[in-house]
A and B are shown apart, each in its own frame.
Chain A
Amino acid sequence: MRQRSGRRPWTFYALAAFFTLFVLFLYGPMSAIYILSFQGPSGGLTFPMNGVSLNWFYALFEQQRTGDFAGSFGRSITLAICVLVLTVTISIMAGLAFRRRFFGAGLIFYLAIASLIMPGLLVSLGIGLMFQFLGIRPNWYTSALGAHLTWTLPFGLLIMFAVFSRFNRAYEEAARDLGASNWQILWTVVLPILFPGIIAVALFGFTLSYDEFPRTMVTVGPRNTLPLEIWVMTTNVTSPALFALGTVTTAVSFLVIALALGSIALIQRRRTRRIIREAGRAA
């Protein structure tokens, strides 16, 4: 059915049109926000545009009027980076572990999946209660961190599963045959080959944490992360500063994605170039 050549059936055009509509559906509404964030100083929350300005972007940095943007942004970024590092490390280790059968593997696996589908607020409530009973104050770098991990680790685990299942163990055996220790095999063979998957896990870890909301609500403690700040703003703030915030936060997300994809592409290209160079030298 996937023809390698020849005319396309009419269904192709119908489906392509559907797909285009879907993409428009995905990106369309957000574009309203991006446009409105450049709203003029006297403009309101909806169209029409009253001039174009960067007014609302500047307003973001004025702490009193629009909430603690700079502070919550910093906390969100820091938290996201911590979550990234932890998610990558824990996912890689767990992925390695699951290659073997061991007692309890099924249980842990289902626990991870359950973590994915459990309502975020429930997790949040549970962690909040736990901290309350332990007498520890919830804080963004302790309880919220844990809550974020319950959301990012299942994704990381699933990606690692997908990546490992395509990994040919013959590479490891060849390395062992050539005298590498387990640690060396991991560092010089396994991780480099799995690199794109690891980048994917890192990407998930960062962005899922950066955008996380329900699990953070009860666990964040006295100071908000960015999504929570936005949430507060939706109820308090009635100015396009909210949209400006949306644009900025989206720009950060896009930047992170571009960095991730770019680094994968760069590494692949450097590897191929190095191979070609070596081959040229040998010839």
Chain B
Amino acid sequence: MKIPPVVVAYLQVLPLFLVLLVFLGVPLVLVVVVSFFDYDMFDIVPAFTLRNYDELLRSELTYTLYYNTVKYAVMVWAITLVIGFTVAYFLVFHVRNLLWQIALFLLCTVPFWTSNVIRMISWIPFLGRNGIFNQSLMLLGVTDQPLEFLLFSDFAVVIAYVHLFTLFMIVPIFNAMARIDPAIIEAAVDGGASRLQILTTIVIPLSKTGIALGSIFVLALTMGDFFVVKIMSGGQSANVVLAMSNEIAMLQYPPAAASAVGLLVVVSLMVAAILRVVDVRRELAG
């Protein structure tokens, strides 16, 4: 019995679809539904109420949290963009040997394979008052007091995020750059372009999709994270997801759900805005 190829395709994609449906689709719907539930001290009460959204939108805390979230996200995005672009540019256009290119690229990715939590907390002995960084600064005579702002501050939060997520910017940009036909670069040289002009007129426009993809990843991951903010700010700062985790810990699911929906809307808007500017589909589809 010959099965038509289309049916085969459906069968092949079925497991993926099922997993995503059950563990992503349904949970998402549930979160939206629960965000309209009521709650009391002991339990959640199935109902339809706008209480959670009301509390969310009226609370000053909400706006502070969102401000923090977006603040960190934008700062991290800007820094990872500069670093990611520069590293990718170096690897693609300045490293001649293919083997070296792969080796250096792998070198950048290896830390990614270790636990995020470990990588984050490794900053503590590094940046602390008695940490390596301060000790070396004092040894070199740059300062005679340890720099306090290094740890448990906004600076520490941003540094930790950059450390964790730059790779997500490097990989898509590297991919996009590597796809540029070398003959095009040569044609630009032939047409009289200086290296800077080649960068601005050829390389950057042709890496746009990679930059957009990297930006989406970094923004989404930063805004969806909480443990970096919790640890690295020393409890002084908070963001939306951190507040959410607190509510979950107290079993107050409806307000947590409302928070989650709110965040999802904001992240989706950001992603949609980026997609309006750059069409990323071609890049992702290989």
Give yes or no for direct A-B contact (beta carbon below 8 Å). yes
Q: How far is the CA of A203 from the CA of B28 in the complex (A)?
A: 28
Mark out the residues of chain B between 79 and 120 whose CB falls within 8 Å of any chain A CB in the assembled complex. 83, 86-87, 89-91, 93-94, 96, 104, 107-108, 110-111, 113-119
A94–B12 touching, CB < 8 Å: yes
Q: Kindly state whether residue B123 has any CB partner on chain A within 8 Å.
A: yes
List residues of chain B with CB within 8 A of the CB of A118.
Answer: 24, 28, 220, 224, 264, 267
Residue in B22, B93, B118, B182 whose beta carbon sits within 8 Å of that of A33 in the complex: B118
Residues of B within 8 A of A1 (CB): 93, 185-186, 189, 195, 198
Among B50-58, B60-68, B129-137, B204-212, which stretch is in contact with chain A?
A: B129-137
Determine the distance from Cα of A9 to Cα of B198 in the docked complex, in whole angstroms: 14
Q: How far is the CA of A9 from the CA of B196 in the complex (A)?
A: 12
A30 contacts B122, CB within 8 Å? yes
A4 contacts the other chain (Cβ, under 8 Å)? Answer: yes
Chain A residues 127 to 169 lying within 8 A of chain B, measured CB to CB, are 127, 129-130, 133, 146-147, 149-150, 153, 157-158, 161-162, 164-166
Closest A residue to B86 by beta carbon equals A18
Q: Is the interface of B mostly helix, strand, loop or mixed?
A: helix
Instruction: Establish whether residues B245 and A121, one from each chain, have CB atoms under 8 Å apart when the complex forms.
Output: yes
Quick check: is A122 within 8 A (CB to CB) of the other chain? Answer: yes
- Our pick among B87, B225, B253 for the contact of A129 (Cβ within 8 Å) is B253
| Contact residues in B for A117 (Cβ distance below 8 Å) | 216-217, 220-221, 224, 267, 271
Residue picked from A19, A48, A123, A226, most chain B C-beta under 10 Å: A19
Tell me whether chain A's interface is mostly helix, strand or loop, or mixed.
helix
**Chain A hits for B267, CB < 8 A:** 117-119
Tell whether A162 pairs with B286 under 8 Å between CB atoms, given A121-B224, A213-B116: yes
A119 CB contacts on chain B under 8 angstroms = 220, 223-225, 241, 260, 263-264, 267
Q: Give the number of residues in B that approach A within 8 Å (Cβ atoms).
A: 90
Q: Give the CA-CA distance A149 to B18 in the complex, in Å.
A: 11
Q: Which residues of A contact B13 (CB under 8 A)?
A: 93-94, 97-98, 102, 105, 108
Which chain A positions have C-beta within 8 A of B19? 90, 146, 149-150, 153
A60 to chain B, nearest CB (A): 14
Closest to A102 in B: B9
Write out, one digit per residue, whether chain B residues 1-33 have a CB within 8 A of any chain A CB (1) or not (0).
000011011111101110110111111101100
- Within 8 Å by CB of B16, from A2, A11, A100, A108, lies A108
Q: Across the interface, do B17 and A149 meet the contact criterion of CB distance under 8 Å?
A: no
A2 and B185 in contact, given A18-B90, A161-B285, A161-B286 (Cβ under 8 angstroms): yes
What residues on B are CB-neighbors of A207 within 8 Å? Answer: 113
Q: In the complex, are the beta carbons of A125 and B31 less than 8 A apart?
A: yes
Q: Which residue of B lies closest to A146 (CB)?
A: B23
Q: Is B163 an interface residue (CB 8 A)?
A: yes
Are A16's CB and B6's CB within 8 A?
A: no
Contacts of B198 on A, CB cut-off 8 Å? 1
**Pair A46/B131 contact, Cβ less than 8 Å:** yes
Closest B residue, CB atoms, query A91: B16
Contacts A19-B90, A45-B125, A121-B248 given; does A250 touch B118 at CB 8 Å? yes
Docked Cα-Cα span, A133 to B24, in Å, equals 15
Given contacts A130-B27, A250-B114, contact A93 B34 (CB under 8 A): no
Q: State A1–B185 Cα separation when bound (angstroms).
A: 6
A194 touches B (CB below 8 Å): no
CB-CB under 8 A for A125 and B257, given A90-B16, A97-B12, A250-B118: yes
In the bound complex, CA of A27 to CA of B118 (Å): 12
Which residue of chain B has the shortest Cβ distance to A26 in the bound complex? B111
13 A-B pairs besides A15-B86, A119-B260 with CB distance below 8 A are: A2-B185, A22-B166, A25-B163, A116-B220, A118-B264, A119-B223, A119-B225, A120-B225, A149-B23, A161-B286, A230-B115, A254-B114, A257-B110
16 contacts between A and B (CB under 8 A): A4-B96, A15-B90, A23-B108, A29-B126, A46-B124, A90-B19, A94-B13, A97-B12, A117-B217, A118-B28, A119-B260, A121-B245, A162-B286, A210-B115, A211-B113, A254-B113
Nearest 5 CB-CB pairs, A to B? Answer: A126-B27, A119-B224, A165-B286, A117-B220, A97-B12
